[in-house]
Amino acid sequence: MIIHSETKAFHAPSSRVSLEAALRRMPVWLMAIVLPGLSAAIGWIDYLTGWEWSLFVLYALPIFLAVWWRGRNAGLLLAGWSAVIWWVANQAGNPYQTQLGYNLAMFSRFVYFAFAAIGGAAIRNKQEADAAHIRMLEERRQLEQDLVSVSEHEQQRIGQDLHDGLCQQLAAIGCAARALADDLQARALPEAQDASQIEELIQQAVLEARSLARGIFPVHVDRSGLSTALSELANTTSRLTGVPIEVKEGAEVHLSDPDVSMHLYRIAQEAVANAVRHSGATLIVIALEAHEGILELRIEDNGCGIEASRRSPREGMGLRTMRYRAQALGADLIIKNRVAGGTVVVCQLKVKPDLPEPTFYGPA
């Protein structure tokens, strides 16, 4: 089964940003002529159409543009100017019997224009706040990704150094110990047995160091599939801790995106480590299954169960990292107590239904 990934991101409203940017790029003197001129043009049309076809609603257009150009104060200034234009345009044909009544009508129009400016400013401020919030979320998400990426690269570097440095030196020391044991045995000296034991201990140290390096830097995830990586994780952890770990596989899964496979592997690694350190479990089960459009990674143990405090906002770094990795995949992470006792960690990755090949969502 080949699983592809897709990256999604937050985007600010481009239409509003482009309009505001276009208006603010205009010279001040040009906008100071264009916007009042647009109000005057609307007033001229209003004068030609007469009182019965009043177009006072259209005066809101240049007022909104003024708000987007320079803010609420510019909109209020243009609202006053538009009220004067309306007063002049309808002076000759208005049906009011007194000048006072007509002036009050102009004042009501000004109030409408002022509310249009204030409302437009409120909308503009809300959109700016939303855009700033989206930028903050993008920056926070990028920072989290950078932190995880730096941590991942540092672990890979340490694992590579262990494999290429310490393991090679221990192997060389083991060869020297083997040569010493053979030399002592050829001379029939009793120290030959001690040298052989030293060589065996060094070989065990090499195996332990390679196991640690493989756990820190699981290069096999990309090559042999996630199932193989989880099996090696179970074997290594079981050998080092003595806790039996079973792996149940529904199908061999190959991930097209190495980041997706690494996130799933780290989630399983952290869940297994928590079960070994905190739960007192005597059996851990890792299951990787694909069914009904869902790739499910499940880690269960028969320990004491997760405490309520560890599901609180102040939960440990390991659990927070697991949640972030699941969020980066666009997956659902469920951590809860088992009915029969113990803890279950479930990470579910959805599949796209509109593609011929099963394709799972990647980082979202």
Tens digit of pLDDT for each residue in 63-111?
888 887 778 888 888 888 888 888 887 877 777 777 788 788 888 888 8
Q: What percent of the chain has pLDDT over 70?
A: 79
Which pLDDT score, from 0 to 100, does residue 352 have?
A: 57
Residues 244-270: what's their mean pLDDT? 79
Work out the number of other CB atoms within 10 angstroms of the CB of residue 266.
19
Least confident residue range of 161-165, 188-192, 274-278:
161-165
Cβ contacts of 212 within 8 Å, gap of 6 or more? 159, 162
Q: With a cut of 60, say whether residue 222 has pLDDT above it.
A: no
pLDDT tens profile 226-254: 788 888 888 888 887 888 999 987 655 66
Q: With a cut of 90, say whether residue 284 has pLDDT above it.
A: yes
Q: 243 or 19, which is more confident?
A: 243
Residue ranges covered by each domain of the chain? 14-143, 220-364
Residues 136-162: what's their mean pLDDT? 74
Which pLDDT score, from 0 to 100, does residue 214 have?
A: 65
Helix axes 99-161, 317-329, angle to 10 degrees: 110
Q: With a cut of 60, say whether residue 62 has pLDDT above it.
A: yes
Q: Which residues of 310-330 are buried (b: 16+ CB within 10 A; e: fewer)?
A: beeeebeebbebbebbbbbbb
Q: With a cut of 80, say whether residue 312 has pLDDT above it.
A: no
The DSSP line for 22-85 is: HHHHS-HHHHHHHHHHHHHHHHHHHHHH-GGG--GGGGHHHHHHHHHHH-HHHHHHHHHHHHHH
Cβ contacts of 42 within 8 Å, gap of 6 or more? 55, 58, 59, 61, 62, 82, 85
Q: Which residues of 217-244 are buried (b: 16+ CB within 10 A; e: fewer)?
A: bbebbbeebbbbbbbbbbebbbeeeebe
pLDDT tens profile 319-340: 888 888 888 888 899 998 888 8
Which pLDDT score, from 0 to 100, does residue 362 have?
A: 46
Return d(Cα 80, Cα 58) in angstroms, integer: 15
Q: With a cut of 90, say whether residue 53 has pLDDT above it.
A: no
Q: With a cut of 80, say whether residue 220 has pLDDT above it.
A: no
Which pLDDT score, from 0 to 100, does residue 357 have?
A: 42
Q: 142 or 282, which is more confident?
A: 282
Q: With a cut of 70, say whether residue 133 has pLDDT above it.
A: yes
Fill in the amino acid letter for 166.
Answer: L
Reading phi first (left if > 0) and then psi (alpha if -120 to 50, else beta), residue 300 is in beta
Which pLDDT score, from 0 to 100, does residue 252 have?
A: 59
pLDDT tens profile 173-190: 888 888 888 888 888 888
- Mind spelling out the 3-state secondary structure of 207-261? HHHHHHHHHHCCCHHHHHCHHHHHHHHHHHHHHHHCCCEEEEECCCCEECCHHHH
Which pLDDT score, from 0 to 100, does residue 255 have?
A: 64
> Torsions phi, psi of 348, nearest 5?
-115, 130
Give the β-pairing of 343-352 and 245-249: unpaired
Q: What is the pTM of this model?
A: 0.52
* Token digits of residue 360: 């799972």
Where residue 51 falls among pLDDT bands split at 50, 70, 90? confident
Q: What percent of the chain has pLDDT over 90?
A: 7
Q: With a cut of 80, say whether residue 151 has pLDDT above it.
A: no
CATH placement of domain 220-364? 3.30.565.10
137-142 contacts, C-beta under 8 A, 24 or more apart: 137/10, 138/9, 138/10, 141/10
Question: Across all residues in the chain, what is the average pLDDT?
Answer: 77
Q: 127 or 357, which is more confident?
A: 127
125-133 contacts, C-beta under 8 A, 24 or more apart: 127/13, 127/16, 130/12, 130/13, 131/12, 131/13, 131/16, 131/17
